[in-house]
Amino acid sequence: MTKLRPVVIIIFLLWLAFVLGAFYITQRPFAIQVGKGLCSTAWSLILTGILLTNAASWGGHLIRKVFPFINAEERALLGTGLGLGFFGLIGFGLAVLGAAHWYILLILQVALLAVVGWLGWLREAREDFTGLWQSLRTPVARGFLWIPCLAALFAILCLLLAFAPPADSFDALAYHLAVPSLWLKLGGLTSAQILPSYWFPELAEGVFVWGLGLGSEITPQLLHFAWGILTIALLWFWIQKLWGNSLAWRSIALMISMPSLPMIASWAYTDLTLCFFVVAVLYLLWRSIGVTDWRLWVLSGCFCGMAMGVKYASFVLPLVTIIWITWRQKRRLVDMIRSGCIFGATAILVACPWYIRNWIWTNNPFFPFVFGGKFWDSFQAAHYSFGGTGIGLNLVEIILLPFNVTLGHRDTTYFDGRIGPLWLILLPVCLWVLWSLRREIDEKRLAIYLLALFGALSLGFWTIGVITTNALWQSRYLFPALFMLSPLAALAWENLSHLDWKRVRISNVFNVLAAISILVSLLDFGLFVLFRNPLAVAIGIEAKQVYFERIQPTYGDALALVSQTPKDAHIYFLFEPRTYGMSRSVHSDLILDNLGHDFYIYHTPEAILHAWCSQGYTYVLYQREGDTLLENPIESRRLFSLLEIVSATPNTILYRVPPP
């Protein structure tokens, strides 16, 4: 028996493997079926954690060494944002060079994690965040404990939705995710006419390269959520230093009262990235009171350059900074010139990659605005701007603008354009508080004046845009202004106690209504998340394609039809701006002008068909929603009759372009 023991063991192991294999192959336990999805979700969380840890560690260490006037709590928040900003520059650089391969991205992040751990930078970051956490744990004022509770619910719901595929996030599918995925697919930039948003400033998209390049589309969404947390935390810290805990939590309540904010925070957008850099710059401007260290202007310029690398709309930020420097140092001409030059040179240096790229490729650093450019003509410019479609100089419309913005019924993107009712309710009190602050001590008065200046200019430029074109009627463009105005609105909330009467305590009435309003908003968002059931997709219970067909059937049809074409297909989109996730070479119709522009250039269906063939297009995907947008319906239908229908759904038609 001793001699036969090895044989018996081998036979038993084979028997064991056979029985277990047969059982689990037949039974297919649910835990095994979702194993791939669980691993993918776990990897997204690990990757996000590595990126944030590395950003906080080396960004915080850089600030510690170069900018000693920044304390621990400030360093935790500013350092993390600074590190993420540099990751955006590096990610874009690697993508441009065609070096954003998964193994290079992984080696760089793992090596950096090892370095920050070995050199003690990780420990420094942990100490900084410990100090920040202690500040956040200060007792909440009596009667306002509900605010941190609802803020926690806000964060949980945002985090859950961030695990969903980007079906609802239109701009992510059109360019925030589509552009970096295109960089990765093509191995760099291309001179082909692609889409206007391909040439926007794309610092945040450079950060998204790390997630997409390492196989996670959830990581970009989690990173945008992290930027939102950093923004709110920095504002809380700033307000708490000046006015205490009660006012700081009131500001948080006003921010989370906006129904659109949790959706935006959960998507791979760039709005909260911009908000963070705006808060960082304005906070450092306020910190310049009494600080003569020239390095402060370097740091604020760096953050301003990063803001300019996120959106063109950031132009208000350097304008406010120049006004602030001029006003504060008007009696010290040499200091004013030196501070402005240091700030401006740093901001331009950090922001220049996007503008130099555009200058080289399109002959316009601000493409497609101001100067037009290589891939742009008058037809596209007019179609993009929708000039003359705004409210015009209608005095009644301008006066009612705050009311209409609050109602949200005219916003071009309803779900991501709702700001809630609390801001409008507090608006008259805000104006009174702003006037009464003239008697406050300098550090409080100047902080509010600085934030009010940014808010007023942002709202003013947005109003000018809305007067000109309906395309800019998007309330989420007001997020930076509203975030900056939250301390003023919180002061207005606090000063409602002056309206209290022995029979009616207005402050208590508003407190209760504010709590109910925020709770209703979060419950509504909770139902939104519940219907989408993001964790079911994240762990593999529901297929991603099925999710798209359920949530966005139009785009789900487009994804399915494109996947049916040959791998070498080149597909021209009509009235479909979104391209993220497409498995073939496609040409987006970002501003819904492809067909109209083709008629503008080629005039006849036959000439258009010939142009499509000569440009190498083999298929045309047409979204039926474009039926109402056809500028030449008769000629358009004649063009479609020259094509061969391959497949059709209630939403989408796929045509084959006949060979010439």
Residue 521, pLDDT score: 94
Cα-Cα-Cα-Cα dihedral sign, residues 596, 601, 604, 610: negative
Helix and strand counts by DSSP (H, E) for the chain? 30, 5
Give the CA distances from residue 371 to residues 176, 353, 653, in Å, rounded to whole numbers and listed in that order: 24, 18, 37
- For residues 470 and 386, the answer to whether their CB atoms sit within 8 Å is yes
Question: CA-to-CA distance for 480 and 488, rounded, in angstroms?
Answer: 14
Residue 195, pLDDT score: 73
Q: Is the pTM of this model over 0.85?
A: yes
Question: CA-to-CA distance for 308 and 273, rounded, in angstroms?
Answer: 11
Sheet of strand 644-648, all strands in order from the earlier edge strand to the far edge? 585-587, 570-574, 619-623, 652-656, 644-648
Residue 402 CA, chain-centre distance (Å), reads 24
H/E element holding 546? helix 544-551
**pLDDT tens-place string over residues 125-169:** 999 999 888 888 888 877 788 999 999 999 999 999 999 999 999
Q: CB-based contacts of 418: which residues, under 8 Å, 6+ apart?
A: 258, 259, 260, 408, 411, 475
Place of tokens 């779900």: 415
Q: What is the DSSP letter of 313?
A: G
Residue 629, pLDDT score: 84
Q: CB-based contacts of 499: which residues, under 8 Å, 6+ apart?
A: 506, 507
- Max Cα distance, the chain (Å): 102
**Closest alpha carbon to 46 in 110, 95, 102:** 110
Give the strand pairing for 619-623 and 570-574: parallel
Question: CA-to-CA distance for 510 and 514, rounded, in angstroms?
Answer: 6
Half-sphere exposure of 219 (CA within 13 A, CB side): 26
**Closest alpha carbon to 299 in 52, 81, 127:** 81
Give the CA distances from residue 411 to residues 390, 394, 415, 476, 660, in Å, rounded to whole numbers and listed in that order: 12, 18, 9, 9, 44
Question: CA-to-CA distance for 108 and 117, rounded, in angstroms?
Answer: 14
Q: State the SS3 of 176-202.
A: HCHHHHHHHHHCCCCCCCCCHHHHCCC
The amino acid at 316: V
**pLDDT tens-place string over residues 526-568:** 999 999 999 989 888 888 999 999 999 999 999 999 999 999 9
If one counts every other C-beta atom within 10 angstroms of the C-beta of residue 511, the result is: 18
Q: CB-based contacts of 428: which residues, under 8 Å, 6+ apart?
A: none
Residue 194, pLDDT score: 61
DSSP string, 364-419: -TTTTSSS--TT--HHHHHHHH-BT-S-TT-HHHHHTHHHHHHH-TT-SSSTT---
Question: CA-to-CA distance for 118 and 112, rounded, in angstroms?
Answer: 10
Q: Which residues of the chain have pLDDT under 70?
A: 1-4, 24-33, 191-194, 440-441
- For residues 429 and 491, the answer to whether their CB atoms sit within 8 Å is no
